[in-house]
Amino acid sequence: MTTLSAFTEDDLAAASAAAGEPNWLTDRRLAAAKRALDLAWPDSRKDEFWRSTPFQQRIDVDRELVRSGAGDPPRSFTDGLGLTLPTARIVDGVLTEVTVPEELAQRGVVVTDLSAAATDHRGLVEAHLGSLTTNDPEGTGGDADRTITANDAAWTAGVFIHVPAEVELDAPIVVRIHASESGAHLPRVLAVLGHHARASLYLEHTSTSDVDALVDQVVEVIAADAAKLDVASFQLWGNKVDHLALQKVQAHRDSEIRHVSVTIGGRTVRLLPETDLVGPGAQTRPLGVYFADEGQWFDLQPYVRHIAPNASSDVLFKGALQGNSRTVFRGNIFVHRDAVGTDTDENNKYLILTEGARADATPFLEIECADITAGHGSATGQIDALQLYYLTSRGIPRDQALRLIVTGFFREVFSDVELPGVQDAALERIEALVEAADLSSFQVNDASLQDLRDE
């Protein structure tokens, strides 16, 4: 039995051989295993970046690695888009299906098994796999975090994506990750976009409703010069799934990155959408919506590292909470001393819908360079009584008005997101959650009623 907490080098070597991986990859896994086993699991009292999630209480690492491929994922929100999309499915720790439309294959687009790509696309995979997580000299990795290093060593199913230089894709590439078997799931994604390539990558995470699982995920994306990349990550887990996710993009000169996360399902979700702005003029826009309900704990940590000059970042996360739920937004911005002309802004706004929910927002700025523009803001709130009055005074019943206001609150995040299906899928799900909620328990803030005369 191989567990996440106690895998051995023999286990990993055997699995690597069974997957037909080349020696260089097996060696890397074993090196990562050594590092992982030397590290302790995170300690939320000591580790700065783990303060926001109580690791010991919520994350059980004593779980067997799942490699059965048995489950059957539900309908995808992309099914309705009426397109044949390049798609990869990781089900219960196994890459069960890959589809690449012929037309895209002819343009050189690759979506394939990462283990096989280690041979077939060795140059790219060897250069980039782990470059954002480990101390690769060319990379920007180096987080000594066992949850990440464990994935470096033991990822069970991986997808490799390559969009060659100057290839522009209109349709998204969909990676579906589904859990139906209890245990530890370790999916891995590596995507490489050549210069002036354009693509969007949808990560759709689902599970059966009763599965009790830990998903420890690493996604690495390299966006070469002037590439345009959108990532949309949907966390739609059942309520016994804990999801630890590093989704990290390395952004080269003049590339444009956008990461949209939709966090709704899961018992614990600790999501790290990170961008390393390593090329001058690169831009990133980490966006997020989240809706937390009874028992859920969401720890959202967008991290932007301004390493090159004249790059920009603009973070916006909006959330709503009800029941006994907890969310933490921790927006980390690092500005290197050479990153002159940096332009950065981050905002977090959330609505506390019912009593008992708790949200924290901590912007965390580490700025070594004076010649920059930086802003941050956070706003907490409740549903505004005056808005509610305005809508109801037009005949809209209170419940319907509440639904309009809550979904409207989230819409700002999507104001310039034109990713097919993404906004609708996100807002429909949020609307359904509000629909199912006990609207009579929603807290409404009366403060605005008293401000009439100040207008």
Partner 1 sequence: MADLEIRDLHVEADDTPILRGVDLDLDKGRTIALMGPNGSGKSTLAYAIAGHPAYEVTGGTITWKGTELNELTPDERAQLGVFLAMQYPVEVPGVSLTNFLRTAVNAVRDEDVPVREFMQSLRSEMAELGVDDSFLQRSVNEGFSGGEKKRFEILQAALLRPELAVLDETDSGLDVDALRIVAEGVNRLSGPDLGVLIITHYTRILRYITADEVHVMFEGRIVASGGAELADELEEGGYERIRAEHGVSV
Ligand X SMILES: Nc1ncnc2c1ncn2[C@@H]1O[C@H](COP(=O)(O)OP(=O)(O)OP(=O)(O)O)[C@@H](O)[C@H]1O
Q: Name the minimum Å distance from CB 108 to partner 1.
A: 38
Rounded to 5°, angle at Cα 145 from 144 and 148: 115
> Judged by CB under 6 A, does residue 454 bind ligand X?
no
Give the residue carrying structure tokens 């429909």. Answer: 428
Minimum CB distance to ligand X, residue 385 (Å): 12
Q: Is 46 in the site for ligand X (CB under 6 A)?
A: no
* Span from 231-239, 276-284, 327-335, 396-404 in contact with partner 1 (CB under 8 A): 396-404
Q: Which of 313, 387, 421, 442 binds partner 1 (CB under 8 A)?
A: 387
For position 452 contacting partner 1 by CB under 8 A, the verdict is yes
Question: Considering the rule CB under 8 A, would residue 417 count as an interface residue with partner 1?
Answer: no
- Does 439 engage in binding with partner 1 (CB under 8 A)? no
How many residues touch ligand X under the rule CB under 6 A: the total is 3
Q: Which of 7, 334, 410, 442 binds partner 1 (CB under 8 A)?
A: 410
Work out how close the CB of 450 gets to ligand X at its nearest, in angstroms, rounded to a whole number: 6
Q: Binder to ligand X among 68, 135, 380, 450 (CB under 6 A)? A: 450
The two structure tokens encoding residue 158 = 């991986």
Q: Which residue is nearest to ligand X (CB)?
A: 453
| Beta carbon of residue 452, minimum distance to ligand X (angstroms, whole number) | 5
**Phi and psi (nearest 5°) for 168?**
-115, 120
Asked if 453 is part of the footprint of ligand X (rule: CB under 6 A), the reply reads yes
Among 75, 452, 454, 455, which residue interacts with ligand X (rule: CB under 6 A)? 452
Residue 400 binds which entry of partner 1, ligand X, none, CB below 5-8 Å type-dependent: partner 1
For position 447 contacting partner 1 by CB under 8 A, the verdict is no
Shortest Å distance, C-beta 40 to ligand X: 58
Q: Does 386 bind partner 1 (CB under 8 A)?
A: yes
170 is an interface residue for partner 1 by CB under 8 A: no
Residues that bind partner 1 in the complex, under the rule CB under 8 A:
385-387, 389-398, 400-401, 404-405, 407-412, 446, 449-450, 452, 455
